[in-house]
């Protein structure tokens, strides 16, 4: 049996390989070329950043290569830990961490549809003596909670799917109730505020 071909992605001193089916190797080479020509990768310093951004580049262009890149990412970085732990261990700054998470989760829907989502038990639940827990999140440290929500939608878009749109539609309908509509003269179109920060009321 022939060994699986490896698609090489190299930018400056950072290199990684993705095992791909031989029939996808030509398209993979084209994707690497377009990624290196069109992406904002001048600031990429680590393999995890480059790999995550390559996944994000592939998702709308070739689901097969995106899935192969996602699987290779999981094998390289997430074999023992959840992606959030991995990001923390790599000591990335906020922008780098967001870019890695966004790239990683950009392939989530493809992986989910093909049954290729990594299954792992969070460390907290690997202890049989832990049966129930609750986490209480206090007020965030941001002055504008819509900015925080915008960041979450940007990073976790495929996981959140249409939740913000559905909740926004619900809030918009509720704000038109005659008993409270005078309190919401500008409505509650949160989805529009998230998409267009300039449209949100003061």
Q: Give residue-wise pLDDT tens across range 57-77.
A: 999 999 999 999 999 999 999
Q: pLDDT class for 148, splitting at 50, 70, 90?
A: confident
Q: How far is 83 from 104, CA to CA, in rounded Å? A: 8
- 9 forms beta bridges with 16
The vertex-71 CA angle with 70 and 76, nearest 5°, equals 100
User: How many Cβ atoms sit within 10 Å of the Cβ of residue 186?
Assistant: 11
Structure tokens at 39: 């992406």
pLDDT at 146: 85
Regarding predicted confidence, which is higher, 136 or 77? 77
Report the candidate in 74, 66, 78, 71 with the shortest Cα–Cα distance to residue 106: 66
Q: Global pTM?
A: 0.79
Phi then psi for 157, rounded to 5 degrees? -45, -50
Contacts of 106 (CB under 8 A, 6+ apart): 55, 56, 59, 66, 157, 158
Q: How far is 97 from 88, CA to CA, in rounded Å? A: 8
pLDDT at 134: 52
Q: CB–CB of 101/155 below 8 Å?
A: yes
Contacts 24+ apart (CB under 8 A), 30-35: 31/57, 31/58, 31/61, 31/62, 31/65, 32/7, 32/8, 34/61, 35/9
């Amino acid at each position: 049996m022939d060994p699986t071909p490896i698609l090489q992605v190299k930018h400056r001193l950072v290199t990684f390989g993705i095992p791909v089916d031989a029939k996808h190797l030509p398209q993979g080479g084209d994707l690497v070329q377009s990624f290196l020509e069109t992406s904002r990768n001048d600031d990429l310093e680590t393999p995890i950043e480059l790999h995550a951004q390559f996944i994000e580049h592939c998702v709308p262009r070739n689901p097969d290569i995106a899935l192969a890149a996602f699987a290779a990412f999981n094998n390289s970085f997430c074999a023992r830990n959840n992606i959030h732990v991995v990001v923390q261990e790599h000591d990335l700054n906020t922008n780098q961490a967001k870019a890695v998470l966004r790239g990683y989760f950009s392939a989530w829907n493809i992986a989910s549809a093909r049954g290729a989502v990594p299954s792992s038990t969070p460390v907290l639940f690997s202890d049989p003596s832990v049966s129930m827990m609750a986490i209480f999140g206090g007020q965030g440290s941001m002055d504008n909670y819509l900015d925080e929500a915008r960041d979450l939608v940007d990073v976790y878009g495929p996981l959140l799917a249409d939740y913000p749109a559905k909740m926004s539609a619900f809030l918009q309908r509720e704000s038109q109730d005659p008993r409270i509509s005078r309190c919401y003269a500008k409505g509650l179109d949160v989805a529009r505020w998230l998409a267009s920060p300039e449209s949100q009321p003061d």
